Structure 1
């Protein structure tokens, strides 16, 4: 039994969605399905109930999940033991933060050459729970203001953009008001759905929202195929769009979202403030 198969299973169990799990793992979805099927054959039990709309853990899946987490946690201690004396920081992150992470990590290494980093891509709630449980040292988030048991340190601000099909009437505009988009269908990746919709509601706009999409890539494909739909993305994510089927248009008046470093409350000390400084604009 390979650790890779256990890692894939835990990721699918976290997401309950094969597409999002594949995105987190940076591999093709069929590879995830194949590894899960292989693991089920090796164990002789079904771990997941699959349907076109839902993925659920079976009773055996719940038992195996707990054992898999324990096994992976133990395996993760091996490289840690090999790097005794180095400073390792485990950072929870998400899509659209590549450039900021690169700048922040470089800045941290300038201050502490022995610094090592482990990046963990998780949905926002799982990211925060991992910080709360001590599995992560800190998490980068957007739109999070207060979390019980954690300290939220506002760190940067990003402007929000409307992303539309290249065939949308506003595709070539220099800016667009949210109110002009209320009759179009808003599509938002499942991970960011609540945060984005809340940010728009705070402006007094209540757009017509479709069901949450699977991944950011899924959302961009849907928007690119429908000239009467749109999504909202922060500037750092817009910079990472590679699709030629969509256009990013600044919102007017400008709407921003705050990015924060989240740490355990008992870790909100000078070291945490140092980390905040490295991730500022």
Structure 2
């Protein structure tokens, strides 16, 4: 019995849809169907009831699912053990997640203390691509709903803040709307933040590709007409006295996710989500 077949089975059981399972595994749907059929022949049991409208686990499927999850988790533990005490977890980071990273790493080390951590700072698209190609092991990202070849696990939400120059007319306000700032100089460079604002009914778009948060803060602080919008985590790490952060009205949030390889066993994925999520 191949671990690959068990992994395909667990993915179909999670999705209850062969097409979505194939997308998550980043393979063609017929390959998934063949592996499931082979597993059913090997076990001598039907694992799924299939109809044109839905897919359901059989009673045997439910029994096999628990055992399959345990087998995949055990295989993952074997791989971790083979890496020995010098095992490394490579984490693709986002800006403004220092406290989240520290807490998550501590929690994971309580479960498996013998690993080192390497933090990899990459732009969002490059971060997901590195995960897809096995160059990092897990990534934190904001504003990502789905991506091919990886599994996106929503794990936290953060309110968005307007950030303006200390000389901006709105600098003393307790709350402010994006519409009230629209006459100034927008420095929203992050496409994920722009997308959240558009979903909230505010027609903004990045004025150029995303740069570093630090550079954006310097730009905003240097121009009394300038403004941007940042998540709370990034706001918490602002060290400049030249800008002011103001809560948005109405309150608007962005979702942060733990992103893992598509084939990572469910127990491991859940542990990563719990460690870095809220």
Q: Distance in 2 between matches of 1:84 and 1:103?
A: 23
Q: Secondary structure at the match of 1:247?
A: strand
Q: Distance in 1 between matches of 2:273 and 2:237?
A: 23
> Structure 1 stretches of 5 or more lacking a match?
1-82
- Residue pair 1:187, 1:223 contacting (<8 A) in 2 also: yes
* Distance of aligned partners of 1:255 and 1:266 in 2 relative to their CA distance in 1, 3 Å threshold: same
Q: Deviations over 1:27-65 (max 9, x none)?
A: xxxxxxxxxxxxxxxxxxxxxxxxxxxxxxxxxxxxxxx
Of residues 260, 273, 276, the one that matches 2:273 is 276
Query: How many correspondences in the alignment?
Result: 197
Q: Deviations over 1:111-136 (max 9, x none)?
A: 22213211111011110011100111
- 1:157 matched to 2:149: no
Q: Distance in 2 between matches of 1:98 and 1:267?
A: 25
TM-score with structure 2 setting the length:
0.67
- Residue pair 1:182, 1:208 contacting (<8 A) in 2 also: no
Of residues 179, 199, 202, the one that matches 2:199 is 202
Partner of 1:174: 174
- Residue pair 1:184, 1:208 contacting (<8 A) in 2 also: no
- The structural deviation recorded for 1:87 is 3.8
- The structural deviation recorded for 1:174 is 1.1
Q: Secondary structure at the match of 1:164?
A: strand
Partner of 2:231: 234
Matches within 5 A, 1:44-123: 84-123=84-123
- 1:246 matched to 2:243: yes
Q: Deviations over 1:130-169 (max 9, x none)?
A: 1100111111000000101111000010000000000111
Larger Rg: 2
Q: Deviations over 1:60-91 (max 9, x none)?
A: xxxxxxxxxxxxxxxxxxxxxxx733442111
> Structure 2 stretches of 5 or more lacking a match?
1-82
Q: Secondary structure at the match of 1:270?
A: helix
- Residue pair 1:185, 1:208 contacting (<8 A) in 2 also: no
Q: Secondary structure at the match of 1:258?
A: strand
TM-score with structure 1 setting the length:
0.66
Q: Which moved more, 1:90-99 or 1:245-254?
A: 90-99
- The structural deviation recorded for 1:212 is 4.0
- The structural deviation recorded for 1:213 is 5.9
List structure 1 segments (4+ residues) > 6 angstroms apart after TM superposition. none
Q: Distance in 1 between matches of 2:231 and 2:106?
A: 23
- Give the CA RMSD over aligned residues: 1.8
